[in-house]
């Protein structure tokens, strides 16, 4: 094999071996008991099922919890910890850890 071909194949092998992960808070997040929420840019589907808009940053999100949901009127702040972990704090409460929800099984 020529050196010109070996380098690109080595680089390709690295990317195939270590897949890239999206380093963003977007996606589905669950607690151990389920209770999912979904973030897609500035849009959120809250744990109570309401669709609304919040303040989005690639690694964070916050919104005021709507009427009818636990913690209504308080600010919920979420910060990405790593690709699979997010820390969520409601008001001045203790942070909750959320993990990316497992893919649904069909």
**Which tens digits make up the pLDDT trace of 27-76?**
999 998 888 999 999 999 999 999 999 999 999 999 999 999 999 999 99
Cα–Cα dist 76/74, whole Å: 6
Is residue 1's pLDDT more than 60? no
> What's the pLDDT tens digit per position in 96-105?
999 999 876 5
Cα–Cα dist 62/92, whole Å: 13
pTM, whole model, 2 decimals? Answer: 0.75
Q: How far apart are the first and last CA of the chain?
A: 44
Cα–Cα dist 91/105, whole Å: 34
Give me the pLDDT at residue 15, please: 46
């Amino acid at each position: 094999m020529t050196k010109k071909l070996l380098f690109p194949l080595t680089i390709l092998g690295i990317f195939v071996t270590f897949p890239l992960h999206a380093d963003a808070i977007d996606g589905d997040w669950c607690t151990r008991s389920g209770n999912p929420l979904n973030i897609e840019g500035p849009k959120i589907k809250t744990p109570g099922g309401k669709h609304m808009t919040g303040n989005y940053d690639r690694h964070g999100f916050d919104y005021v919890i709507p009427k009818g949901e636990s913690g209504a009127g308080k600010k919920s702040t979420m910060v990405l910890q790593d690709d699979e972990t997010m820390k969520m704090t409601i008001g001045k409460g203790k942070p909750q850890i959320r993990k990316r929800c497992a893919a649904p099984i069909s």
